[in-house]
Structure 1
Amino acid sequence: MMTARRIPDDAGDLFAELPGIDEETLRRLHARLALAANEAGILDVAYRTLDTPVGTLLLAATEKGLVRVAYDREDHDKVLEELAGSVSPRVLRAPARLDPAAREIEEYFAGRRNLFDLPLDFRLSNGFRRTVLSHLTEIGYGTTASYAAVAAAAGSPKAVRAVGTACATNPLPVVVPCHRVVRSDGSIGQYVGGVEAKKTLLSLEAAA
């Protein structure tokens, strides 16, 4: 069985053995590689990182749209390997494809955006989990909903625990707002990015 491997994300990995190449030249070579891969139709998953108030986020996109947002605590290298196995081994650091997503997320954290307008690729979620994600976008900015309420909206009122699992495995946190789902008693509950990140997001929206 062939093991899926991602394209090296650092231009230095590709050209390190070439003598006399400085860091700026490496960056240009890498940019050319990313552009050529995209134009040739072989850039299946592009990614970049983005510094935010909740830590460094990994953003990844296919040609269909944003496919993954990952927190530091999820281990970015592990997430990239998972994308190589579940989507395509042709994964490359190519920030240009992620520029629109990065811009909207920066606007969100700056308090200038309360609704994301990005094409999303939900291929990493299926079945009931995918149904739950579709209902999360209906929870308005600055508001919350209980796990029970989301379960009812998804057509399975008794599936409260399954809603929790769907939120915990949400491949697009922040953009698909699982942070707005709380417990029925009003307590904050768990979050893929950690409780502090969830509090930060809810506080940001409440202050707007």
Structure 2
Amino acid sequence: MAAKGLKGVEMPRQRSRYPDRYRRPARWIVATLFAISFTSTRLAQAEATQSREGGNVHITAERAMRGMLELIRKTSSVVELTPEAMGHRLGLPIRRVSADHFGYAQSLGGGWAVSIERQSTGDAGPRVDLIFSPIGEGHPAATPICTPDFSQFTQELERMGFKRQSSYGEHGRWTYDAFDRSGAHVAVYPLVAGGGAICVQMVLVR
């Protein structure tokens, strides 16, 4: 099943690529992830579109995560977040897909792509997602998306006043850490890297 992406290209829905302890059920992946499993050809087309529209920007994983922290810090309500405010806080050209769906996506190199999106999620209301996704069918090393790592990223949330609570799934497996403060909920999902380092794979903000 394909979906129209942030840059006007067709993108197949993401599937879980990591069968280890951090793997989530397929039904959860379909329900929560906006598809960003680009082919290299589609990424080239997407980046050409972005360049034509005056948004010739290329960011690193670190900049994406630092921008997400800034967005969380300065956004009191996801409901009231506009494309203009999102672009200003992230420092990125935001593309509108529909009235309730807008954001930014690009390839990162090292076999990874990134998207940051605000979209409606039905009765649960709008949500902002930062997602790192492998490109194609490979299993790239997680090192390129591991600065800041999971610990460093989540410590920044705690410094903002968020309270942490770990969530566990089937057989007691750790699935993510939730962070709450008045009016905001953030879920940060981990990805294990070589050598046992824990990286950030997804950040979901309500």
The TM-score, its normalising length taken from structure 2, stands at: 0.29
Name the structure with the higher helix share.
Answer: 1
The TM-score, its normalising length taken from structure 1, stands at: 0.29
